[in-house]
């Protein structure tokens, strides 16, 4: 999923200071999964902001709603009847959600409350580790299903480097060395020869794009 | 606010530090006191709205949101009483509880409230345990507790101008 | 006079080669690198200049190599892929050749988070092995990536590094083979303190027949003190310093530790000379370039051979 983290409260607070009526909009998909923008987190943030306002003698109304997905118009449209009552929407969606909502309601001030971070798997409850960087050219089977771009700090394609120690990365000793994992997996399954040929330079244009990348599927269009 | 009773002469309003008596919310593991629904009635009668008891099937079921809402609803201090360390019937319930209380404490710290307004208490061995006795002990200990800034009437700030 | 790689000639002549490292200054100071060059001149066949090592900004390796050339040394340009994309790398390879540099050491480089620019974007467009192959392609096929022809190919003796002491250990000899297949012509290893393990690694290397296809120079770094040894053992990834070595330093008074460190270094070189497949030594005495002369002399590697 896409992961995100809630911005520090002082930053969020400052962004909504001018407003008296705030609608906090959460998202029930990725950010709910990583406990940063789902219904619960919306409730927590709302409670904190209300208490903060009360403490300072400020009048602020904070309301809550969570959409199934904040990046899909079909769900964003559910806000249509609501949104006019508010001066501002505090979005707990990822960057995609924030922008989609802003596009649908251009007259409303939409403020992000999360810092969108990376694509991850849930390693264990409460722990998310990046494992994909959306390079647009997936060759995981060449690397024993360990992404060298994402999980090797230097994105080596013919690793490991000289700093791999005890299975961990020299850059962060808590991070497993991707290449140690790749080599070990291939060794154990008798497929080490997969690493014999030089893996050639990557086509980064599939990742960099020419500005924002796009997918168009005519068969999906109305 | 305690104070005026019928027949007292009128005195001009003096600035005193008279504050409202503290309100408490007590979340607790119901495994501690199987008779909690009976045992808590005395205090509930004595203190009325000043005390609210919230039994949980295990302290590990606490959510930060429960604590936040209790504070928002007017508590000055919110306790979570767990089984003694190592004695959780579900093994790590009270360990999980500690993490969640700490999370909630960090959250209120971010808005300038004292983290001590949420307090985790491990019931001590050996039993037996009465939620009434525990609550009284906690309330006594909290004697000098200042009211939560949320429960102190502040003069309304001047209306904000949208920048 | 046409610039040529002295290192290549010494190795081709079957002589035990000596190279050493020069650390450039943290400023636009040509004198600093000139001075270091002159400390090494006559004691080494070629001198490496590091490329913003550990991600700390220093005078560029390319500029430093040009200055060393002016001083009459044969420089080895170290180039990392951390800071330049393929466009810049290929361009700088041409630039180095044009400026008379005849040796290049292709590395990935230390991660940017280690240095004084941790907010920098690490490039890593290509890795060290891909870079080796690229330089080889430019030199021998006269083309760049994608196939466009160069008007004039660069002339460079191509080197790479290997660390026998990094993990996974079982893969290290094969990784060296991969670099050799990609086109590496000489190798400088990470510094050696664990000779027994190094000998084992060399055996694996010889079993693959790699020692015949590439010139391996064993790396050494003189230890200055127990503190330095312990620091390196603990903090530098891929460093293997056995207890016995540290104990040797502990066994002498602190005033004598530098001397003992040099002794250990010289003994290591003497042992390296006995290992089949080792064609030279690479002395990394960072910020202690003065020690190189003593080491080379103490290891009886003087005078450096005359080559045409």
Q: What's the ipTM? A: 0.90
* Sole residue written with tokens 């400026």: C99
> pLDDT for B81-110, tens place per residue?
998 888 887 888 888 899 999 999 999 999
Per-residue pLDDT, averaged over B36-57, amounts to: 93
Per-residue pLDDT, averaged over C49-70, amounts to: 97
pLDDT tier for residue B145 given thresholds of 50, 70 and 90:
confident
> Which of B65, B161, B162 is facing A47, going by the closest CB pair?
B65
Q: CA nearest B66 in A: which residue? A: A44
Predicted local distance difference test score (pLDDT) of residue B9: 53
Q: How far apart are CA C9 and CA C5, in angstroms?
A: 7
> pLDDT for C144-170, tens place per residue?
999 999 999 999 999 999 999 999 999
- In a 3-state reduction of DSSP, which class is residue A47? helix
Q: How far apart are CA A46 and CA B32, in angstroms?
A: 33
> pLDDT for C17-41, tens place per residue?
999 999 999 999 999 999 999 999 9
First to last CA, chain A: 27
- Sheet with B51-56: list strands edge to edge: B51-56, B24-29, B77-82, B118-122
CATH architecture of B24-141: 3-Layer(aba) Sandwich (3.40)
Q: Which chain A residues have a beta carbon less than 8 Å from that of C145?
A: 201
- For B71-84, b where at least 16 C-beta lie within 10 A, e where not — what string? bbebbbbbbbbbbe
Predicted local distance difference test score (pLDDT) of residue B14: 46
Domain coordinates in residue numbering, chain A = 2-118, 136-204
Q: How far apart are CA C18 and CA A27, in angstroms?
A: 64
Report the predicted TM-score, pTM, of the whole model to 2 decimal places: 0.88
Predicted local distance difference test score (pLDDT) of residue B88: 83
B2 has pLDDT over 70: no
Those chains having 3 or more beta-carbon pairs within 8 angstroms of chain B are: A
Predicted local distance difference test score (pLDDT) of residue B92: 85
pLDDT tier for residue B152 given thresholds of 50, 70 and 90:
confident
Residues of chain A with pLDDT under 50: none
| Contact criterion met (CB < 8 Å) for B154 and A13 | no
Class of the CATH domain delimited by A2-118: alpha beta
| Contact criterion met (CB < 8 Å) for C114 and A171 | yes
- CA–CA min distance A188, chain C (Å): 12
pLDDT tier for residue B156 given thresholds of 50, 70 and 90:
low
Predicted local distance difference test score (pLDDT) of residue B91: 81
CATH node for C6-298:
3.20.20.220
C299 has pLDDT over 70: yes
Domain coordinates in residue numbering, chain B = 24-141
Domain coordinates in residue numbering, chain C = 6-298
pLDDT tier for residue B161 given thresholds of 50, 70 and 90:
very low
CB A43 within 8 A of CB B65: yes
Please provide residue A62's backbone torsions phi and psi, each rounded to the nearest 5 degrees: -120, 120
* Sole residue written with tokens 């391996």: C216
Predicted local distance difference test score (pLDDT) of residue B125: 75
Question: Average pLDDT, whole number, for chain C?
Answer: 96
Please provide residue C206's backbone torsions phi and psi, each rounded to the nearest 5 degrees: -65, -35
pLDDT tier for residue C216 given thresholds of 50, 70 and 90:
very high
């Amino acid at each position: 999923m896409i992961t995100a983290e809630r911005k520090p409260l002082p930053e969020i607070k400052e962004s909504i200071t001018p407003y008296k009526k705030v609608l906090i909009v959460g998202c029930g998909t990725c950010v709910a999964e990583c406990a940063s923008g789902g219904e619960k987190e919306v409730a927590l943030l709302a409670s904190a902001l209300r208490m903060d306002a009360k403490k300072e003698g400020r009048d602020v109304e904070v309301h809550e709603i969570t959409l199934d997905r904040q990046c899909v118009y079909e769900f964003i449209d559910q806000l249509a009847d609501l949104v006019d009552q508010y001066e501002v929407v505090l979005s707990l969606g990822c960057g995609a959600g924030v922008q989609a909502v802003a596009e649908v309601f251009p007259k409303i001030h939409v403020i992000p409350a999360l810092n969108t971070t990376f694509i991850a798997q849930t390693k264990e409850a409460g722990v998310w580790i990046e494992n994909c960087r959306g390079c647009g050219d997936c060759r995981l089977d060449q690397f024993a299903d360990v992404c060298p771009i994402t999980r090797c700090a230097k994105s080596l394609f013919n690793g490991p480097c000289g700093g791999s120690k005890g299975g961990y990365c020299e850059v962060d000793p808590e991070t497993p060395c991707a290449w140690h994992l790749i080599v070990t997996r291939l060794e154990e399954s008798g497929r080490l020869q997969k690493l014999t040929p030089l893996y050639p330079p990557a086509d980064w244009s599939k990742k960099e794009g020419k500005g924002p990348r796009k997918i168009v599927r005519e068969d999906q269009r109305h | 606010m305690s104070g005026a009773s019928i027949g007292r002469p009128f005195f001009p309003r003096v600035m005193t530090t008279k504050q409202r008596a503290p309100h408490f919310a007590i979340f607790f593991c119901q495994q501690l006191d199987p008779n909690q629904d009976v045992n808590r009635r005395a205090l509930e009668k004595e203190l009325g709205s000043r005390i609210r008891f919230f039994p949980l099937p295990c302290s590990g079921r606490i959510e930060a949101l429960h604590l936040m809402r209790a504070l928002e609803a007017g508590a000055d201090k919110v306790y979570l009483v767990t089984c003694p360390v190592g004695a959780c019937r579900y093994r790590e319930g009270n360990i999980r509880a500690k993490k969640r209380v700490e999370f909630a404490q960090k959250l209120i710290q971010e808005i300038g409230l004292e983290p001590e307004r949420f307090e985790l208490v491990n019931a001590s061995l050996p039993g037996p345990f009465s939620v009434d006795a525990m609550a009284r002990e906690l309330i006594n200990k909290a004697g000098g507790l200042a009211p939560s800034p949320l429960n102190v009437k502040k003069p309304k700030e001047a209306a904000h101008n949208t920048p | 006079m046409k610039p040529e790689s002295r290192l290549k000639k010494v190795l081709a002549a079957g002589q035990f080669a000596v190279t050493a490292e020069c650390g450039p200054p943290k400023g636009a100071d040509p004198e600093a690198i000139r001075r270091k060059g002159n400390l090494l001149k006559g004691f080494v066949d070629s001198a490496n200049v590091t490329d913003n090592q550990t991600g700390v900004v220093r005078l560029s390796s390319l500029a430093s190599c040009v200055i060393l050339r002016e001083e009459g040394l044969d420089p080895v340009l170290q180039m990392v892929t951390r800071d330049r994309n393929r466009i810049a790398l290929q361009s700088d390879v041409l630039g180095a050749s044009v400026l008379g540099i005849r040796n290049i050491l292709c590395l990935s480089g230390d991660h940017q988070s280690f240095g004084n620019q941790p907010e920098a974007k690490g490039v890593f467009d290509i890795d060290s092995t891909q870079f080796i192959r690229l330089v080889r392609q430019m030199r021998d096929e006269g083309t760049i990536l994608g196939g466009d022809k160069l008007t004039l190919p660069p002339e460079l003796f191509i080197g790479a590094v290997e660390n026998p002491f990094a993990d996974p250990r079982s893969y290290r000899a094969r990784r060296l083979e991969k670099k050799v297949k990609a086109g590496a012509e000489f190798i400088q290893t990470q510094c050696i303190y664990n000779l027994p393990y190094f000998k084992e690694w060399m055996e694996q290397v010889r079993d693959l027949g790699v020692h015949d296809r590439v010139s391996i120079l064993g790396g050494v770094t003189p230890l200055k003190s127990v503190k330095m040894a312990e620091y390196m053992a603990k903090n530098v990834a891929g460093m293997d310093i056995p207890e016995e070595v540290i104990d040797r330093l502990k066994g002498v008074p602190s005033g004598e530790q530098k001397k003992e460190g040099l002794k250990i270094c010289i003994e290591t070189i003497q042992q390296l000379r006995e290992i089949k497949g080792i064609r030279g030594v690479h002395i990394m005495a960072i910020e202690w370039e003065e020690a190189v002369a003593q080491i080379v002399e103490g290891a009886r590697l003087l005078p450096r051979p005359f080559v045409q």
